[in-house]
Protein backbone atom coordinates (compact mmCIF):
# COMPACT_ATOMS: atom_id res chain seq x y z
CA UNK A 1 0.00 0.00 0.00
CA UNK A 2 1.38 3.39 -1.06
CA UNK A 3 0.01 6.88 -0.55
CA UNK A 4 -0.78 7.24 -4.25
CA UNK A 5 -2.79 4.01 -4.12
CA UNK A 6 -5.20 5.20 -1.39
CA UNK A 7 -8.79 5.20 -2.63
CA UNK A 8 -12.25 5.46 -1.14
CA UNK A 9 -14.34 2.31 -1.07
CA UNK A 10 -16.13 1.77 -4.38
CA UNK A 11 -19.43 3.67 -4.30
CA UNK A 12 -18.46 5.80 -1.27
CA UNK A 13 -18.30 9.01 -3.33
CA UNK A 14 -21.29 9.57 -5.53
CA UNK A 15 -21.29 12.36 -8.13
CA UNK A 16 -24.05 14.95 -7.90
CA UNK A 17 -27.01 14.66 -10.25
CA UNK A 18 -26.66 17.07 -13.18
CA UNK A 19 -30.18 18.01 -14.17
CA UNK A 20 -31.32 19.62 -17.41
CA UNK A 21 -28.71 17.86 -19.59
CA UNK A 22 -30.89 16.23 -22.25
CA UNK A 23 -33.70 13.67 -22.32
CA UNK A 24 -31.31 10.70 -22.29
CA UNK A 25 -30.27 11.50 -18.69
CA UNK A 26 -33.81 11.03 -17.37
CA UNK A 27 -33.74 14.49 -15.79
CA UNK A 28 -33.64 16.67 -18.91
CA UNK A 29 -36.09 19.32 -20.13
CA UNK A 30 -37.95 20.27 -16.91
CA UNK A 31 -35.12 18.92 -14.72
CA UNK A 32 -37.45 17.01 -12.38
CA UNK A 33 -39.50 20.09 -11.50
CA UNK A 34 -42.66 19.08 -13.38
CA UNK A 35 -44.74 21.44 -15.50
CA UNK A 36 -45.36 25.14 -14.82
CA UNK A 37 -46.40 26.52 -11.45
CA UNK A 38 -44.60 28.50 -8.79
CA UNK A 39 -42.21 25.72 -7.75
CA UNK A 40 -41.00 25.11 -11.29
CA UNK A 41 -39.61 28.65 -11.43
CA UNK A 42 -36.24 29.64 -10.05
CA UNK A 43 -35.88 31.61 -6.84
CA UNK A 44 -38.87 30.13 -5.04
CA UNK A 45 -38.92 29.05 -1.40
CA UNK A 46 -42.44 28.46 -0.18
CA UNK A 47 -41.69 27.91 3.49
CA UNK A 48 -44.78 27.27 5.56
CA UNK A 49 -47.11 27.50 2.57
CA UNK A 50 -49.97 25.00 2.83
CA UNK A 51 -51.65 25.28 -0.55
CA UNK A 52 -53.85 28.21 0.37
CA UNK A 53 -54.96 26.68 3.70
CA UNK A 54 -54.16 28.92 6.68
CA UNK A 55 -50.57 27.96 7.63
CA UNK A 56 -49.87 26.40 11.02
CA UNK A 57 -47.82 29.35 12.26
CA UNK A 58 -50.84 31.61 11.62
CA UNK A 59 -53.36 29.22 13.18
CA UNK A 60 -51.55 29.00 16.51
CA UNK A 61 -52.21 31.69 19.16
CA UNK A 62 -49.43 34.14 19.95
CA UNK A 63 -48.50 34.89 23.56
CA UNK A 64 -46.13 37.29 25.23
CA UNK A 65 -43.65 39.82 23.96
CA UNK A 66 -40.10 39.50 22.69
CA UNK A 67 -38.08 42.62 23.38
CA UNK A 68 -35.61 43.11 20.52
CA UNK A 69 -33.70 45.71 22.57
CA UNK A 70 -33.16 43.40 25.56
CA UNK A 71 -29.58 43.07 26.78
CA UNK A 72 -27.97 39.64 26.55
CA UNK A 73 -26.02 38.98 29.74
CA UNK A 74 -24.18 35.81 30.72
CA UNK A 75 -25.54 35.21 34.23
CA UNK A 76 -23.03 33.76 36.68
CA UNK A 77 -23.79 32.75 40.29
CA UNK A 78 -21.33 33.39 43.11
CA UNK A 79 -21.48 29.72 44.13
CA UNK A 80 -20.25 28.66 40.68
CA UNK A 81 -17.39 31.17 40.89
CA UNK A 82 -16.38 29.76 44.30
CA UNK A 83 -16.40 26.22 42.86
CA UNK A 84 -14.03 27.29 40.08
CA UNK A 85 -11.74 29.07 42.56
CA UNK A 86 -11.62 25.89 44.70
CA UNK A 87 -10.90 23.80 41.58
CA UNK A 88 -8.03 26.13 40.65
CA UNK A 89 -9.57 27.27 37.35
CA UNK A 90 -9.95 30.86 38.58
CA UNK A 91 -7.45 32.99 40.48
CA UNK A 92 -9.26 34.98 43.19
CA UNK A 93 -6.37 37.47 43.44
CA UNK A 94 -6.63 38.44 39.76
CA UNK A 95 -9.30 40.70 38.30
CA UNK A 96 -12.28 38.55 37.30
CA UNK A 97 -13.82 39.90 34.10
CA UNK A 98 -15.80 38.46 31.19
CA UNK A 99 -12.71 36.90 29.57
CA UNK A 100 -11.55 35.21 32.79
CA UNK A 101 -15.03 33.81 33.52
CA UNK A 102 -15.37 32.66 29.92
CA UNK A 103 -12.01 30.87 30.04
CA UNK A 104 -13.14 29.04 33.18
CA UNK A 105 -16.32 27.93 31.36
CA UNK A 106 -18.72 29.97 33.49
CA UNK A 107 -19.84 32.76 31.15
CA UNK A 108 -21.39 31.28 28.05
CA UNK A 109 -22.67 33.76 25.48
CA UNK A 110 -23.56 37.15 26.88
CA UNK A 111 -22.65 39.55 24.11
CA UNK A 112 -23.47 42.46 26.45
CA UNK A 113 -21.25 41.21 29.26
CA UNK A 114 -21.57 39.30 32.54
CA UNK A 115 -24.10 39.81 35.31
CA UNK A 116 -23.34 38.40 38.76
CA UNK A 117 -26.14 36.74 40.74
CA UNK A 118 -26.10 36.03 44.48
CA UNK A 119 -26.98 32.31 44.51
CA UNK A 120 -24.48 30.23 46.46
CA UNK A 121 -21.76 31.35 48.82
CA UNK A 122 -18.54 33.15 47.95
CA UNK A 123 -15.73 32.61 50.49
CA UNK A 124 -12.78 34.18 48.67
CA UNK A 125 -12.12 37.92 48.45
CA UNK A 126 -12.20 38.85 44.76
CA UNK A 127 -12.46 41.89 42.53
CA UNK A 128 -14.79 41.87 39.54
CA UNK A 129 -15.16 43.93 36.38
CA UNK A 130 -18.61 43.10 35.02
CA UNK A 131 -21.60 44.65 33.28
CA UNK A 132 -23.95 44.18 36.24
CA UNK A 133 -24.55 42.57 39.61
CA UNK A 134 -27.64 41.82 41.70
CA UNK A 135 -28.07 43.48 45.09
CA UNK A 136 -27.38 40.21 46.91
CA UNK A 137 -24.23 39.50 44.91
CA UNK A 138 -22.91 43.02 45.51
CA UNK A 139 -23.50 42.74 49.28
CA UNK A 140 -21.83 39.32 49.46
CA UNK A 141 -18.72 40.52 47.59
CA UNK A 142 -18.37 43.75 49.56
CA UNK A 143 -18.88 41.88 52.87
CA UNK A 144 -15.73 39.86 52.10
CA UNK A 145 -13.79 43.01 51.20
CA UNK A 146 -13.96 42.47 47.44
CA UNK A 147 -14.84 45.08 44.84
CA UNK A 148 -17.11 45.36 41.80
CA UNK A 149 -16.36 47.68 38.90
CA UNK A 150 -19.31 48.11 36.54
CA UNK A 151 -18.55 48.68 32.87
CA UNK A 152 -20.86 50.71 30.67
CA UNK A 153 -21.97 49.00 27.49
CA UNK A 154 -22.89 51.32 24.66
CA UNK A 155 -25.77 50.25 22.47
CA UNK A 156 -25.16 49.53 18.79
CA UNK A 157 -26.64 52.89 17.66
CA UNK A 158 -24.16 54.83 19.81
CA UNK A 159 -21.27 52.65 18.58
CA UNK A 160 -22.29 53.21 14.94
CA UNK A 161 -22.53 56.98 15.48
CA UNK A 162 -19.08 57.06 17.11
CA UNK A 163 -17.59 55.02 14.26
CA UNK A 164 -19.18 57.34 11.68
CA UNK A 165 -17.79 60.38 13.50
CA UNK A 166 -14.26 58.92 13.55
CA UNK A 167 -14.44 58.12 9.83
CA UNK A 168 -15.55 61.71 9.10
CA UNK A 169 -12.68 63.14 11.18
CA UNK A 170 -10.20 60.90 9.33
CA UNK A 171 -11.53 62.10 5.95
CA UNK A 172 -11.27 65.76 6.99
CA UNK A 173 -7.72 65.24 8.31
CA UNK A 174 -6.77 63.48 5.06
CA UNK A 175 -8.25 66.37 3.04
CA UNK A 176 -6.31 68.91 5.11
CA UNK A 177 -3.00 67.12 4.56
CA UNK A 178 -3.63 66.92 0.80
CA UNK A 179 -4.45 70.62 0.54
CA UNK A 180 -1.21 71.54 2.35
CA UNK A 181 0.89 69.45 -0.02
Residue 98: inside a domain, yes or no?
Answer: yes
Q: What is the pLDDT of residues 123-146, one digit of tens each?
A: 989 999 999 999 999 999 999 998
Residue 116: inside a domain, yes or no?
Answer: yes
What DSSP assignment string belongs to 5-35?
G--PPTTSS-PPP--SS-GGGSS-TTTTS-S
Domain count, the chain: 1
Residue 130: inside a domain, yes or no?
Answer: yes
Residue 63: inside a domain, yes or no?
Answer: no
Q: What per-residue string of b and e applies to 80-114 under the rule 16 or more CB within 10 Å gives b? A: bbbebbeeeebebeeebbbebbbebebbeebebbb
pLDDT of residue 45: 80
118 close to 75: Cβ distance less than 8 angstroms: no
Q: What is the pLDDT of residues 61-71, one digit of tens each?
A: 999 999 999 99
Name the residue range of residue 101's domain.
74-150
Residue 105: inside a domain, yes or no?
Answer: yes
For 62, the 3-state DSSP assignment is coil
At residue 81 the predicted structure's pLDDT band, cuts being 50, 70 and 90, is: very high
CATH number at residue 141: 3.100.10.10
CB-based burial label for 122 (10 Å; 0-12, 13-18, 19+): buried
With a cut of 80, say whether residue 154 has pLDDT above it: no
Tell me the Cα Rg of the chain. 30
Maximum C-alpha span of the chain: 82
Task: Please tell me the number of Cα atoms within 13 Å of 96 on its side-chain side.
Answer: 29
Residue 40: inside a domain, yes or no?
Answer: no
With a cut of 70, say whether residue 156 has pLDDT above it: no
Residue 50: inside a domain, yes or no?
Answer: no
Amino acid sequence: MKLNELRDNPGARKGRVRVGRGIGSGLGKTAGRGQKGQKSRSGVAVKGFEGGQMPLHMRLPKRGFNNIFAKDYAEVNLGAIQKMIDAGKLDAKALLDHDALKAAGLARGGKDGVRLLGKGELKAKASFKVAGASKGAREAIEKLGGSIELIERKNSAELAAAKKGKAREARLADKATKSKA
